[in-house]
Structure 1
Amino acid sequence: MLFSNSAIAQLNHHGRSNLVSIFAPDYREEPYWWMAAPPSGEDVTASVPGPVKADVAIVGGGITGLTAALFLARGGADVIVVDSGEIGGGAARMNAGFLGRTLKRSIGWLDKHVGSEYAVRVYRELDEALKGIESLVNSEQIECHRRTCGRLISANSEPHLRHLIKDMEEMKHRLGFDYEVVSKSDLHSELASDCYFGGVVVPDLGSIHPGLYHSGLLKRGKEAGVRFLERAAVLTIDSNGGRKSVRTERGEISATQVIVATNGYTPRNLKWFARRLVPFRGFITATEILPSELIDKVLPKRRTYLDTKMGIDFIRSAPDSERILFGGLTGRLNSTSTSLVPALYRRMTRIMPDLEGVKISRSWTGFCAGTFDFMPHMGIHDGIHYALGYNFAGVPLGTHFGRKLASRILGKGGGSSAFDIEKFPTLPLFNGTGLVAPLAMQYFNLHDRWITKGK
Structure 2
Amino acid sequence: MVTWTGEAEPGFPYWWEALKEIAEPEDCPLPPRVDLLVIGAGYAGLSAALAAQDCGATVAVVDSVRPGDGASTRNGGMFGAHPRLSWPRLAAQFGEETADALFAEAAPARAFVLDLIEREGIACDLQRTGRIQLAWARSHLESQKRLARDVRDKSEVEVETLDRAATTREIATERYFGGLLFPDHCAIHPAKFHRGLWAGAVDKGITVTANAAVTGYTREGGGFSVETLRGPVRADKIVLATNGYTPGFFRWHVARVFPLPSYIIATEELPSNLIGHLAPGRRMMVETRARHSYFRISPDGKRILFGGRASMRDIPLDLAARRQHVTMCEVWPELRDAKLSHVWSGNTGYSFTEMPHVGEDRGLHFAMGFSGSGTVMAPYLGAKAAFRAMGDARGETAYARTPFRRHWLHPTTTPHFLRAADLWYRSWVDTRDRMAGR
2:104 is equivalent to residue 124 of structure 1: yes
Paired with 1:147 and 1:318, the residues of 2 have a C-alpha distance of 11
Q: Secondary structure at the match of 1:24?
A: coil
2:361 is equivalent to residue 381 of structure 1: yes
> Contact conserved, 2:213 with 2:229, CA < 8 A, in 1?
yes
| Aligned mate of 2:269, from 274, 285, 289 | 289
2:18 corresponds to which letter in structure 1? A
The answer to which of 216-225 and 227-236 deviates more is 227-236
Task: Give the match for residue 409 of structure 1.
Answer: 389
> Contact conserved, 2:35 with 2:235, CA < 8 A, in 1?
yes
1:44 corresponds to which letter in structure 2? E
Alignment of 1:352-371 (within 5 A): 352-371=332-351
| Aligned mate of 1:43, from 25, 45, 58 | 25
The sequence identity of aligned pairs, in percent, is 31
Q: Secondary structure at the match of 1:196?
A: coil
- How far off its partner does 1:129 sit? 1.1
> Number of matched residues?
433
The answer to which of 31-40 and 414-423 deviates more is 31-40
| Counterparts in 2 of 1:283 and 1:124: CA distance versus 1, 3 Å | same
Task: Give the match for residue 28 of structure 1.
Answer: 9
Paired with 2:353 and 2:246, the residues of 1 have a C-alpha distance of 18
| Counterparts in 2 of 1:131 and 1:168: CA distance versus 1, 3 Å | same
| Counterparts in 2 of 1:361 and 1:336: CA distance versus 1, 3 Å | same
Task: Give the match for residue 311 of structure 1.
Answer: 291
The answer to which of 425-434 and 192-201 deviates more is 425-434
| Counterparts in 2 of 1:442 and 1:157: CA distance versus 1, 3 Å | farther
Write the deviation string for residues 357-394 of structure 1: whole angstroms up to 9, x where unpaired.
11111111111111112221111111111001001011
| Counterparts in 2 of 1:434 and 1:281: CA distance versus 1, 3 Å | farther
Task: Give the match for residue 257 of structure 2.
Answer: 277
Paired with 2:345 and 2:402, the residues of 1 have a C-alpha distance of 32
- How far off its partner does 1:133 sit? 1.8
Paired with 2:20 and 2:42, the residues of 1 have a C-alpha distance of 14
TM-score (norm 1): 0.89
2:412 is equivalent to residue 431 of structure 1: yes
The answer to which of 193-202 and 268-277 deviates more is 193-202
- How far off its partner does 1:443 sit? 6.5
- How far off its partner does 1:450 sit? 8.9
| Counterparts in 2 of 1:164 and 1:217: CA distance versus 1, 3 Å | same
The answer to which of 23-32 and 58-67 deviates more is 23-32
> Contact conserved, 1:154 with 1:199, CA < 8 A, in 2?
yes
| Counterparts in 2 of 1:314 and 1:244: CA distance versus 1, 3 Å | same
- How far off its partner does 1:150 sit? 1.0
- How far off its partner does 1:328 sit? 1.4
| Aligned mate of 2:190, from 191, 210, 214 | 210
- How far off its partner does 1:423 sit? 3.0
> Contact conserved, 2:148 with 2:161, CA < 8 A, in 1?
no
1:413 corresponds to which letter in structure 2? A
> Contact conserved, 2:258 with 2:349, CA < 8 A, in 1?
yes
5+ residue gaps, structure 2: none
| Counterparts in 2 of 1:167 and 1:422: CA distance versus 1, 3 Å | closer
Q: Quote the RMSD (CA, aligned, Å).
A: 2.4
2:180 is equivalent to residue 196 of structure 1: no
5+ residue gaps, structure 1: 1-15
TM-score (norm 2): 0.92
Paired with 1:258 and 1:440, the residues of 2 have a C-alpha distance of 34
| Counterparts in 2 of 1:286 and 1:141: CA distance versus 1, 3 Å | same
2:206 corresponds to which letter in structure 1? V
| Counterparts in 2 of 1:422 and 1:321: CA distance versus 1, 3 Å | closer
2:55 is equivalent to residue 75 of structure 1: yes
| Counterparts in 2 of 1:422 and 1:207: CA distance versus 1, 3 Å | closer
